[in-house]
């Protein structure tokens, strides 16, 4: 069984629409998985036909009518592996930065060589009611119920729409004894703290996978490690595709926030960096990002080792082409000491939710040092052994 909450279907959009629903369903299907516009969805595939891309891929957001809403190729990343003789992928999608409100969405992944198309099951991408959603992160240290964590160490991540903490349901384990006088004495009282969650609506596909997720030894709910006490789902309502559920979770007092795993954060390579003599110090500041960026509003400042501001550059001083920018720094006074660079948030704007700033004084540094000799005086004919 494919235990992914968001599954992939090869050349079969109707199966993506139906999911695990009964043929009895007559009421329009909702989406019960929520991706925040700046959030991330991470899953393993276990497509019965395998997932194999011969060439490059194009990833699009589509609606229930298969209308293309947006090209999101830059927000999808994957890694490949072979399981049971079939190629599969572990993948991440997110940080698109656009809110589609309550419109159900699907991923359409097209292989640009053989034109095979993989459709995902549906989800929402919105900040609406985000306070009433819960984000789960889960993993294992070995292969677990067919999920190949041994081949690809990976955290899976999914957020459920209108699944939220509602009440406490703490229990006490009271130990007592009776004295010869007949008085009852308490000598140990252990409280088990339980958080009671309400899952307002979920479909059969999610219900089929909830206990499997909670069976993992490592599970976090909204960044807090938890253990399942109970999960109880109701019956399907009439001829709809939804039911409700109650979840009781025991918090473990451990916390973890998952970053990107296959997707890439916005990073920068910057010149100057390292040590230079006065003669070899570059006249231009050159920065290369790992992704295409846009120029916003902000500053790039150079400070010396005594935290004295030496020079300030704004967006007016920057020439940007795709992912590389240049600043004329020829007027910089080359004094022998160390320096660091600070870049404000908003000067460079990445795709979607990607942002960039440098506030750590140790992140981008350089120094100007005295030369050990004049290269023109270096006699290469002499033997310096």
What's the pLDDT score for residue 29?
A: 73
Check if the beta carbon of residue 73 is closer than 8 Å to that of residue 349: no
Q: What token pair was written down for 369?
A: 């040092």
As given in the structure block, the two tokens for residue 178 are 């009776």
- What is the number of alpha carbons within 13 Å of residue 20 lying toward its C-beta? 17
pLDDT value of residue 174 = 60
Nearest to 30 by CA among 234, 177, 199, 170: 199
Answer yes or no: are the C-beta atoms of 365 and 273 closer than 8 Å. yes
Domains of the chain, start order: 8-176+188-255 (no CATH), 268-369 (2.60.40.1220)
pLDDT of 171:
72
Residue 18 CA to residue 80 CA, distance in Å, equals 27
How much is the pLDDT for 372?
A: 60
As given in the structure block, the two tokens for residue 54 are: 């011969």
Tens-digit pLDDT profile for the chain (385 aa)? 899 999 999 999 999 999 989 898 888 778 999 999 999 999 999 999 899 999 899 999 999 999 999 999 999 999 999 999 999 999 999 999 999 999 999 999 999 999 999 999 999 999 999 999 999 999 999 999 999 999 999 999 999 999 999 988 777 666 665 656 666 556 666 778 899 999 999 999 999 999 999 999 999 999 999 999 999 999 998 899 999 999 999 999 999 999 999 999 999 999 999 999 999 999 999 999 999 999 999 999 999 999 999 999 999 999 999 999 999 999 999 999 999 999 999 999 999 999 899 999 999 999 999 876 555 555 555 554 4
Q: Given this model, what pLDDT does residue 385 score?
A: 45
pTM of the model: 0.87
């Amino acid at each position: 069984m494919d235990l992914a909450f968001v599954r992939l279907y090869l050349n079969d959009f109707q199966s993506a629409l139906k999911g695990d629903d009964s043929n009895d369903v007559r009421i329009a299907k909702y989406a019960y998985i929520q991706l925040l516009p700046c959030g991330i969805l991470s899953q393993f595939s276990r497509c019965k036909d395998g997932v194999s891309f011969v060439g490059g891929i194009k990833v699009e957001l589509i609606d229930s009518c298969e209308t293309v809403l947006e090209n999101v190729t830059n927000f999808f990343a994957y890694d490949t592996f072979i399981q049971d003789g079939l190629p599969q992928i572990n993948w991440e999608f997110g940080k698109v930065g656009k809110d589609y409100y309550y419109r159900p969405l699907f991923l359409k992944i097209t292989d640009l060589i053989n034109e095979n198309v993989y459709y995902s099951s549906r989800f929402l991408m919105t900040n609406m009611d985000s306070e009433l959603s819960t984000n789960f992160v889960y993993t294992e240290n070995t292969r677990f119920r067919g999920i190949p964590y041994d081949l690809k160490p990976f955290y899976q991540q999914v957020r459920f729409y209108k699944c939220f903490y509602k009440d406490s349901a703490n229990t006490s384990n009271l130990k007592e004894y009776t004295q010869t006088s007949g008085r009852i004495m308490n000598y140990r009282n252990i409280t088990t703290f339980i958080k009671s969650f309400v899952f307002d609506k979920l479909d059969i596909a999610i219900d089929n996978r909830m206990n499997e997720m909670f069976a993992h030894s490592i599970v976090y709910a909204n960044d807090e490690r938890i253990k399942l006490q109970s999960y109880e789902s109701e019956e399907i309502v009439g001829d709809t595709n939804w039911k409700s559920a109650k979840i009781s979770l025991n918090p473990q007092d451990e916390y973890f926030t998952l970053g990107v795993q296959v997707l890439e954060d916005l990073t920068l390579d910057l010149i100057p960096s390292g040590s230079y003599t006065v003669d070899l110090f570059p006249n231009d500041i050159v920065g290369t990002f790992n992704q295409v960026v846009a120029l916003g509003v902000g500053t790039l400042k150079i400070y010396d080792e005594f935290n004295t501001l030496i020079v300030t550059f704004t967006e007016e001083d920057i020439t940007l082409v795709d992912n590389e920018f240049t600043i004329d720094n020829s007027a910089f006074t080359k004094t022998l000491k160390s320096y660091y660079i600070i870049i404000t948030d908003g000067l460079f704007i990445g795709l979607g939710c990607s942002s960039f700033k440098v506030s750590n004084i140790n992140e981008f540094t350089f120094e100007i040092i005295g030369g050990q000799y004049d290269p023109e005086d270096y006699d290469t004919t002499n033997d310096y052994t």
